[in-house]
């Protein structure tokens, strides 16, 4: 499968690229607004993987080229820019039947911690779905995974990630994709209208990490 990670030059993009490269046979393309930056980051990820004995070729491309050649597109982009990115891909007729996965969460911070700030649509995932063509399936996943922990290949994972999608078949595709990541258990959490509840766990986890020593990069498991 061809997997594109737009904004894959950033934190969660790096973490997902490292884990998908180490645990699956998918072809991974790191996307960026700047193709040269994407290629440079892809080489850096390959070097990190190689240092762990994993020889994996990772491509780098501008976001549009990365998405055009993909079966699955992960939107690893800050919440305030993910809508513009999807609109640009739509305007350029790049999107046809790719599955879009949003891990994005709207948050703002104050002296007490981070607070969930969804867009008026209710959640970033629904905001993405509004901006994508109707024919393009959209799901939410990976919101509650800590980027640093994913990127650290020495770290053993034992975390759950919640998957939202309107079409159960789309949810199942994301579950199947995610289940290949060692130590990551995907759990369906219903349609996109449930995305806000899923996204809102992220500021909670970050606040727990802040107020509890030794809980940096904490995740969730549902038992
Ligand atoms: N960090 C985490 O642990 C984590 C975990 C789960 C979910 N998330 C979510 O994942 C998303 C990305 O988080 P992150 O921490 O990886 O963010 P980040 O490192 O700050 O940014 C990711 C990438 O977004 C691209 N970007 C920045 N501004 C942009 C713009 N105006 N238009 C288009 N692309 C832009 C940049 O790539 P280029 O400059 O190369 O284009 C950047 O490398 C967020 O929505 C966040 O809520 C993060």
**pLDDT for res 204:** 97
The answer to whether 23 and 48 are in contact (CB under 8 A) is no
**pLDDT for res 35:** 98
Residues with CB under 6 A from ligand 1: 7, 9-13, 32-34, 37, 76-79, 81, 85, 103-105, 142-143, 145-147
- Residue 120 carries which DSSP code? T
Cα of 75 from ligand 1 centre, angstroms? 8
Cα of 14 from ligand 1 centre, angstroms? 10
Protein residue closest via CA to atom 33 of ligand 1: 81
Mean pLDDT of 100-118: 98
pTM as predicted: 0.98
Cα of 5 from ligand 1 centre, angstroms? 10
Separation of alpha carbons 62 and 53, rounded Å:
28
Domains of the chain listed by start with CATH number = 2-211 (3.40.50.720)
pLDDT in tens, 156-174: 999 999 999 999 999 999 9
Here the tokens at position 6 are 């737009």
Q: Nearest 5°: phi and psi at 55?
A: -95, 110
Cα of 12 from ligand 1 centre, angstroms? 7
Separation of alpha carbons 141 and 165, rounded Å:
9
Here the tokens at position 210 are 């802040």
């Amino acid at each position: 499968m061809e997997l594109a990670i737009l904004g894959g030059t950033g934190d969660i993009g790096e973490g997902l690229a490292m884990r998908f490269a180490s645990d699956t046979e998918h072809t991974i393309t790191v996307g960026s607004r700047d193709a040269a930056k994407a290629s440079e980051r892809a080489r850096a990820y390959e070097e990190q993987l190689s240092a762990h004995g994993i020889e994996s070729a990772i491509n780098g491309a501008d976001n549009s080229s990365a998405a055009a050649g993909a079966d699955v597109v992960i939107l690893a982009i800050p919440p305030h820019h993910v809508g513009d990115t999807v609109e640009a891909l739509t305007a350029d007729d790049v999107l046809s039947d790719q599955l879009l996965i949003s891990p994005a969460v709207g948050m703002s911070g104050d002296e007490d911690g981070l607070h969930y700030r969804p867009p008026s649509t209710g959640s970033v995932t629904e905001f993405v779905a509004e901006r994508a063509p109707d024919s393009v399936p959209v799901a939410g996943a990976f919101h509650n995974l800590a980027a640093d922990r994913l990127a650290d290949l020495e770290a053993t994972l034992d975390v759950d990630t919640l998957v939202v999608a309107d079409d159960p078949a789309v949810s199942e595709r994301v579950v199947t994709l995610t289940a290949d990541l060692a130590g990551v258990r995907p759990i369906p959490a219903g349609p996109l209208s449930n995305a806000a509840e899923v996204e809102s766990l992220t500021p909670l986890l970050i606040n727990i990490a802040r107020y509890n020593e030794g809980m940096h990069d904490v995740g969730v498991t549902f038992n």
